[in-house]
Amino acid sequence: MIDLILCILFSSSLFVIFKLFNTYKVQTLFAIITNYFVASVFSTFFYEDSINFAEIPEKSWFLPTVALGFLFITVFYITARTSQQIGVSVASVASKMSLVIPVLAGVMLYKEDLNIIKVFGILLALVAVYFASLKDRTITVKTGTLVLPLLLFIGSGLVDTSIKYIQTTYVPKNEFPLFCALVFFCAGTFGVTFILLRSFKVPLKKNYRNILGGLCLGIFNYFTLYFLLRALQNDFFDSSSIFTINNVATVLFSTLLGIILFKEKLITKNWIGIGLAVISIILVALF
């Protein structure tokens, strides 16, 4: 339970860091890519055995982890495009509602039990995420722009599902830091490749604030993934409960941080979302 709470705290803190990027004029894309390499290096500090780089490609989890790294940076890019073209609220809802995918995967792949109260709690969680993410208006998406939110929904769900599957099927607990290091390194490598290809049209500019922002983001990003992996190995909750509680509680705590740190104003629908989030967490956790 402590691992889940820490995962929620670190995940919610990422919201604060992204918010500060706007204040200090940090370019999000460059900071994100820097963060992956920082998180990769930081991961190795917690690996107790000596690292033999020649042996890493021989690990059973090597290729799935490389694919997961590509998925990480791809989903981020889709998130950015969705936020810019349609809106942050739509991106938030599509990303967090993707918890449906790992929940269904847990039932089908790991034969996890879903009683009627737990199903009600998960449905309530989806409604809570929707209301908590609204700003000053109802989210409206034109039919022609549904592709990006749909890709974000599927991509985010696949990230969570893949993390659980690789962690359960391939990665021993003592190799969690090494697994995290490879995921982040691959994501950063794919990101650098994207930037270099884009540099033919958009010239690269040095900005040390991007590096500093990426440093802070990378440390928190590492702990978010590390504690999620540990939480998924607990004996109290199955993966469907973990993903539901984690996603909803992150939305809830991020909203509260926005109020406390940035004086953000909430509308009535946001408070309804917060109330439903609390109820859904209680239902899923107890049943």
In angstroms, the Cα distances linking 242 to 204, 239, 256, 269 are: 40, 5, 21, 25
Question: Is residue 221 packed enough to be buried (19+ CB in 10 Å), middle (13-18) or exposed (0-12)?
Answer: buried
Q: How many domains does the chain have?
A: 1
Whether the predicted pLDDT of 245 surpasses 80: yes
CB atoms within 10 A of CB 112: 17
Q: Quote the mean pLDDT of the chain.
A: 86
User: Is residue 134 assigned to a domain?
Assistant: no
Residues 97/263, Cβ–Cβ less than 8 Å:
no
Q: Rounded to two decimals, what is the model's pTM? A: 0.86
User: Is residue 129 assigned to a domain?
Assistant: no
Residues 30/178, Cβ–Cβ less than 8 Å:
no
User: Is residue 35 assigned to a domain?
Assistant: yes
* pLDDT per position as a tens digit, 18-27: 888 878 888 8
Output the pLDDT for position 57: 93
User: Is residue 23 assigned to a domain?
Assistant: yes
Compare 110 and 68 and report the one with higher pLDDT: 68
16's tokens: 């604060």
Output the pLDDT for position 28: 80
> Can you give the residue range of the structural domain that contains 198?
2-112+140-234
User: Is residue 50 assigned to a domain?
Assistant: yes
User: Is residue 247 assigned to a domain?
Assistant: no
